[in-house]
Structure formats: structure tokens, C-alpha cells
């Protein structure tokens, strides 16, 4: 049985936080909201609890968890060899959607770090998460989805994936950003491992030059991975998904002429241009990429319900949070992108059917 605990996201009820923190301290698993996505929390110093997180999610054991803290004092409990300037910089970005890779302290078990000597640490900017961690101590938490599914941005996503598999789920409403935190390695020169809401532009204003490996932009479901978790299949619906670059109108025209049925995920503007406002899954206005980011994972989760043969998704500019949005879209999609109506042939060959 999974207990659902509804907590006020702006002023969390202390008694309810206390109860959830007690569960964490007892080694139980509690899903909780953060400003990025929901996390599946366990005591960061309890190896057995961490192993249960992997079991509940069907997560491969070499894909390490992020340790969530609520104070700089807790940073010293989980990491060692902290770069001299980090505390000053961290004060500017924490609490917030950015995760640092540092050397792990002895107290953090290898079960949490996937057997690595490094640890991912972040201080989430969510009143429920902060209040919970303050009471329980550091919490190891991956996103609270089943492995390969999109990260949950609402409690109902968590319930769909993990009900009956974990001890409790805190329902604190919608996550604010809707994509997972930016990950930056500070082992050596700063390297971006995962783009997120904290943008490259913002990172560089604090850290100077940040290396952005090619894999971050290509973002295929390839074996070559930066963060260990990035090599696994992610976000992908069962329905084949194709990213369409600047040619949605001609592709859609062609498909409609051939009387092919399919679904579309796109911005409000594109849907209006196509005359498909009532058929498309809308991500919001493309003039506000934060809105697009916030709605993306819900949209990806809803594709399979439509039972269509395939789905098209609009490509966005890779600037600001757009880099994170496109990284997740590419990981969810089946093929390299569609760049013109000639790309339709690739769709047909990949889904194994012809237009006739």
C-alpha cells in the first residue's frame, strides 16, 4: 500500500512533513515534489533503502542517484574536496535546479553513487523538499518514474508509475520547471553533463567557460554516455516519435494528402498555422520556452493513449532552456530528425508500412 500525503506546496504542514521525514529515517521510500520534477526519496546514508529505490523503479544499478540537501552544512556531510570557490557560487544558485558532481564523502554508500567515488548533489528550490530534507537529513532521489518513462511532473504521474511499489507519495501539485536539473561536473574543469533549467548562459556567467560535450546536443539513445544514466533509453513512448525541423507544414500536408493518421505534439502557434488546434497535443506558446518545458513530459506520457501509428513533434531553438527541451525530445524520439517532406519515407520504413 502506498500512502498519499497531500501537502500544501507553499506552506507545508509541519506535522505532515514530520511524518514523511520519519518514513525516510526508517528507510522507507517517499516520493516528493521538487521545482524540476518529482523525486523518489530514500535516506542518502542508508544503502538498503537506496537499493530499494533501484528496485522500485527497475533502474539499472550503475545509474547513480542525486543526493538532495537543504543546507550548506549538509554539503559537507556528503562531499569532500569541495572546490574553494564553490560555496560562494553555490549560494548564488542554490536552492535551485542545478546539480554538482563532486567527490563523495565516506558516509555516502556506493549503492547511492553506482559504485563511483563521485556524488551528484543538489539543493532543490521547493518548500516541501527543503522542509522534508531539513527534518530527515540528506535524501538520495532519482526522478520518481519507472525507468525509461518520462520524469513525473505531477503526483498523478508518480501514482501511475509507482503506486504499490513505494511507501508514500507526497502530492504537492505541479512541478515548476518540468525538466530535470542541469548537471555540471566539477571534477576538473566544469563540464555540462545534462542541460536543464539552469542554462549554459547562466552557468558560464558564474563558472567561466563550461565544456559542452557533443553528446549533449546529439542526445541520441546511444551507448556513449556522459552521466552514467544518460546511456539508457529515456522518456521514449511506445509510439514511434519523429522530430520535425522547420518543415511541419509540408510534412503534414503530404501526410494528410495520403490520408495517413498520426498525432502531433507542437506549440500553440504551429497548431494554429496547421489548422490543427483541436487535434494536436499542445505544449504552449513557443515564445515562452519555460511553458514548453513544463508541458513536455505530460505530452510525452499521453502519446501512447492516442494509439496512433506514429507521432510528430516540433523541434525548438536550442537556446536557453531550449537546449534541455531538445535534449529530452531527441532522447524520446526514434530516428534522427525529419528535415523535409522527403523524410516521410524514413518514417514509413521505420514503422514498417507504406502509404498506399
Sites of contact with Mg ion (CB under 5 A): 143
CB 122 → ligand TXA: shortest distance, Å?
A: 6
- Show the site string, 203-222: x = touches ligand TXA by CB under 6 A, - = not: --------------------
Q: Of the two residues 151 and 263, which places its CB atom closer to ligand TXA in the complex?
A: 151
Instruction: Give yes or no for residue 113 binding ligand TXA (CB under 6 A).
Output: yes
β-sheet bridge partners, residue 4: 169
Cα-Cα-Cα-Cα dihedral sign, residues 202, 90, 123, 150? positive
- Exactly one of 23, 36, 111, 332 binds ligand TXA (CB under 6 A); that residue is 36
Q: Of the two residues 118 and 239, which places its CB atom closer to ligand TXA in the complex?
A: 118
Residue 164 phi, psi dihedral angles, 5° rounding:
85, -10
Start-to-end CA distance of the chain, whole Å, equals 50
Q: How many angstroms separate the CA atoms of 84 and 249, rounded?
A: 52
Cα-Cα-Cα-Cα dihedral sign, residues 125, 286, 100, 229? positive
Q: How many angstroms separate the CA atoms of 213 and 216, rounded?
A: 6
CB 37 → ligand TXA: shortest distance, Å?
A: 5
Short-list 236, 262, 240, CA closest to 251: 262
Stretch that binds ligand TXA, among 12-20, 179-187, 248-256, 306-314 (CB under 6 A): 179-187
Stretch that binds ligand TXA, among 62-70, 165-173, 303-311, 348-356 (CB under 6 A): 62-70
CB 267 → ligand TXA: shortest distance, Å?
A: 24
CB 228 → ligand TXA: shortest distance, Å?
A: 4
Binding residues among 226-255 for ligand TXA as defined by CB under 6 A = 227-230
β-sheet bridge partners, residue 10: none
Contacts with 252 (C-beta within 8 Å, 6 or more apart), sequence order: 264, 274, 276, 312
Amino acid at each position: 500500500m502506498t500512502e498519499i500525503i497531500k501537502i500544501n506546496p507553499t506552506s507545508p504542514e509541519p506535522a505532515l512533513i514530520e511524518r514523511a521525514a520519519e518514513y525516510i529515517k526508517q528507510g522507507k521510500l517517499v516520493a516528493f515534489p521538487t521545482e524540476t520534477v518529482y523525486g523518489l526519496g530514500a535516506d542518502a546514508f542508508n544503502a538498503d533503502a537506496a537499493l530499494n529505490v533501484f528496485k522500485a523503479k527497475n533502474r539499472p544499478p550503475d545509474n547513480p542517484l542525486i543526493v538532495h540537501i537543504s543546507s550548506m552544512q549538509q554539503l559537507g556531510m556528503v562531499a569532500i574536496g569541495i572546490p574553494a570557490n564553490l560555496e560562494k557560487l553555490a549560494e548564488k544558485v542554490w536552492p535551485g535546479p542545478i546539480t554538482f558532481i563532486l567527490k563523495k564523502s565516506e558516509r555516502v554508500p556506493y549503492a547511492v553513487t553506482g559504485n563511483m567515488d563521485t556524488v551528484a548533489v543538489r539543493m532543490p528550490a521547493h518548500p516541501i523538499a527543503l522542509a522534508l530534507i531539513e527534518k530527515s537529513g540528506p535524501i538520495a532521489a532519482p526522478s520518481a518514474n519507472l525507468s525509461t518513462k518520462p520524469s513525473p511532473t505531477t503526483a498523478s504521474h508518480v501514482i501511475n508509475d509507482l503506486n504499490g511499489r513505494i511507501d508514500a507519495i507526497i502530492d504537492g501539485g505541479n512541478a515548476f520547471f518540468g525538466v530535470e536539473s542541469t548537471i555540471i561536473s566539477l571534477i576538473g574543469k566544469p563540464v555540462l553533463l545534462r542541460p536543464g533549467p539552469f542554462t549554459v548562459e547562466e552557468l558560464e556567467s558564474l563558472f567561466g567557460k563550461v565544456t559542452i560535450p557533443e553528446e549533449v546536443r546529439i542526445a541520441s539513445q546511444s551507448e556513449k554516455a556522459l552521466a552514467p544514466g544518460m546511456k539508457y533509453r529515456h522518456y521514449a513512448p511506445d509510439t514511434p516519435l519523429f522530430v520535425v525541423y522547420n518543415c511541419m507544414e509540408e510534412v503534414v500536408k503530404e501526410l494528410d494528402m495520403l490520408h495517413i493518421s498520426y498525432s502531433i505534439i507542437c506549440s500553440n502557434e504551429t497548431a494554429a498555422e496547421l489548422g490543427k488546434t483541436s487535434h494536436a497535443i499542445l505544449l504552449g506558446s513557443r515564445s515562452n520556452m519555460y511553458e514548453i518545458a513544463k508541458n513536455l513530459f505530460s505530452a510525452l506520457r499521453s502519446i501512447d493513449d492516442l494509439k496512433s501509428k506514429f507521432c510528430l513533434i516540433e523541434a525548438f531553438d536550442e537556446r536557453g532552456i531550449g537546449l534541455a527541451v531538445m535534449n529530452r525530445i531527441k532522447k524520446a524520439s526514434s530516428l534522427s530528425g525529419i528535415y523535409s517532406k522527403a523524410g516521410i519515407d524514413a518514417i514509413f520504413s521505420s514503422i514498417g508500412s507504406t502509404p498506399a
